[in-house]
Amino acid sequence: MPGIEQARDGLAAALEARYGRGGDTPPLPSQVTFDAMVRVVLEEFLDARQAALAWEALVEAGLDEAGPIAEADPLELASVWQLAGLKPPARMGGVVRKLAMWLVDRHRGDPTALAEVGVDRLREELRQIQGVGPALTERLLLWGLGREGVPLDRSGYRILLRHGWIDPTADTDELRSTMVQLAQGGRWDDPAGDPRAALAAVGRWSGWMERVGREFCKPTAPRCDRCPLREALPETGPVEWDA
Ligand code: SF4
């Protein structure tokens, strides 16, 4: 079985040929804004079109900054979206509000202040927000803040396991470093000097893994014969770890 280093360029080419370079992942934010953070949360609950409508509804209601959202009644958010013809899960408004409250309480409501905060501290703070789990934290870091987040959903985790790139005892640090190894040879700094290159590569791989998981790497029966990652399978096939 080729190691990650030997396999990754070939795999990236196969994945890009199938899914394109951008896939269906959000663009990296060019600057830190409350808008970008909230959109990541909205897209956790709604498809991209509905999430855009939900954000527009907030803007029209004057709820497009952290302060007003933090002070809003949860029912107010729900009614704004209802009037826009949306029926998001009840939990969505709560997470948006908690995110706004965190920004107000910890960072004076100023998204630009987050650029000065280290990524480890941001990760820790985001994880403490009620309703923001590990996966959403990584998405917020990468696609909300343009920082070193490594989004990986359950199917991505399954793929790493089945290829033997991690074992079931791997902790979140190992998961993240394995993904960074796949995407960018394990380094966040870019040899060519582009500070956003690694972020974009990790985002791309994250999107590709989600697509492969949906199409090929099903929980019960992987469909390896036509999968773009099949060249990197162990000789004996997908690794099946004991439950
Ligand atoms: S379907 Fe097979 S080749 Fe594809 S990611 Fe899953 S285990 Fe790997």
Give the nearest ligand 1 atom to 223 CA.
1
Per-residue pLDDT at 243: 59
For the chain, give the number of residues.
243
Span from the CA of 64 to the centroid of ligand 1 (angstroms):
42
Give the nearest ligand 1 atom to 229 CA.
3
Mean confidence (pLDDT) of the chain? 92
**Hey, which of 1, 8, 218, 230 would you mutate to test ligand 1's pocket, going by the most ligand atoms within 8 Å of its Cβ?**
230
Judged by DSSP in three states, 168 sits in coil
Span from the CA of 155 to the centroid of ligand 1 (angstroms):
10
Domain 4-24+151-232 in CATH 1.10.1670? The answer is yes
Give the nearest ligand 1 atom to 228 CA.
4
d(Cα 56, Cα 40) in Å, to the nearest integer?
14
Per-residue pLDDT at 23: 61
Burial class (CB in 10 A: 0-12, 13-18, 19+), 79: middle
Residues linked to residue 222 through DSSP beta bridges, in sequence order = 217
Tens of pLDDT, residues 4-15: 888 888 999 999
Give the nearest ligand 1 atom to 222 CA.
1
Per-residue pLDDT at 6: 82
Q: Whose CA is nearest to atom 3 of ligand 1?
A: 230
* Distances, alpha carbon 209 to alpha carbons 39, 53, 239, in Å: 21, 27, 17
* Residue ranges matching CATH 1.10.1670 in the chain: 4-24+151-232
| Amino acid at residue number 142 | L
Per-residue pLDDT at 4: 83
* Residues 78-91, mean pLDDT to the nearest whole number: 96
Ligand 1 surroundings by CB, under 6 angstroms: 159, 162-163, 212, 216-217, 222-224, 227, 229-230, 233, 238
Please say if the pLDDT value at position 232 is more than 70: yes
Give the nearest ligand 1 atom to 238 CA.
7
Instruction: Return the DSSP state at 141.
Output: I
Tell me what percent of the residues of the chain surpass a pLDDT of 90: 81
* Residues 206-229, mean pLDDT to the nearest whole number: 94
For tokens 């408004």, the residue is 93
φ, ψ at 217 (rounded to 5°): -95, 65
Tell which wins on pLDDT, 242 or 240: 240
Give one DSSP letter per residue of 106-170, joined into a string: HHTT-GGGGGGS-HHHHHHHHHTSTT--HHHHHHIIIIIT-SS-----HHHHHHHHHTTSS-TT-
Please say if the pLDDT value at position 192 is more than 90: no
Per-residue pLDDT at 25: 78
Span from the CA of 222 to the centroid of ligand 1 (angstroms):
6
Judged by DSSP in three states, 152 sits in coil
* Residues 10-21, mean pLDDT to the nearest whole number: 92
Span from the CA of 202 to the centroid of ligand 1 (angstroms):
19
Per-residue pLDDT at 30: 84
* Residue ranges matching CATH 1.10.340.30 in the chain: 34-144
What was the ipTM of the complex prediction? 0.99
* Residues 221-236, mean pLDDT to the nearest whole number: 94
Spatial contact of 198 and 142, defined as CB atoms under 8 Å apart: no
Spatial contact of 213 and 158, defined as CB atoms under 8 Å apart: yes
- CATH number of the structural domain 34-144: 1.10.340.30
* Distances, alpha carbon 105 to alpha carbons 97, 111, 133, 145, in Å: 12, 12, 20, 18
Tens of pLDDT, residues 158-172: 999 999 999 999 999
| Amino acid at residue number 62 | G
Tell which wins on pLDDT, 7 or 224: 224
Residues linked to residue 217 through DSSP beta bridges, in sequence order = 222
